[in-house]
Structure 1
């Protein structure tokens, strides 16, 4: 996989707004709480199916956060890369990540 220069990986083209950061962080904190809830369920020997349902909910929540981040990346970073002549590299990179994401 060809990668864009290191600067693009370390610094978003358009920095996230405070609201964007807060929204993602809040979602991740909720997911963190769900994970702790599953840990407690295991410690309490709760029914396996109930645990599996919660794991499924966490997976769905993580995918939702991931797609949100991917959407922002596409609209800002990939769009900028296309405009500056680095579109093929940015699209290749995004596609590789989406392949991993969809496993």
Structure 2
């Protein structure tokens, strides 16, 4: 299944990923500078949340598209149950 994002959705996901990228760069810099462990972990947790939110946004878009276009999946030889199982596996990979 190929995801198709609308302009606003795509921008939001990319912003979250860029934020996570900046936070991870910050974590690397903090470790290299020997910063306080608590500060490093706080920044790392923020990066992790940003990545999770981006992943959930991508999965939500995929679910929405699958629910509104079930026939397309069937035309590609994938049953509704197979599509559901695949999306469930993706969702659980972020849990």
- TM-score, scaled relative to structure 1: 0.76
CA RMSD of aligned residues (A): 1.9
**Structure 2 segments unaligned to the other structure (5+ residues):** none
**Structure 1 segments unaligned to the other structure (5+ residues):** 1-7
Counterpart in 2 of 1:48? 37
1:44 and 1:87 map into 2 onto residues whose CA distance is 52
1:98 offset after TM fit, Å? Answer: 1.8
Number of residue-to-residue matches in the alignment: 91
- TM-score, scaled relative to structure 2: 0.82
Stretches of 4+ moved more than 2 A in 1? 81-86
1:56 and 1:47 map into 2 onto residues whose CA distance is 14
Superposition pairs of residues 1-103 of structure 1, within 5 angstroms: 8=1, 11-12=2-3, 15-81=4-70, 85=74, 86-102=79-95
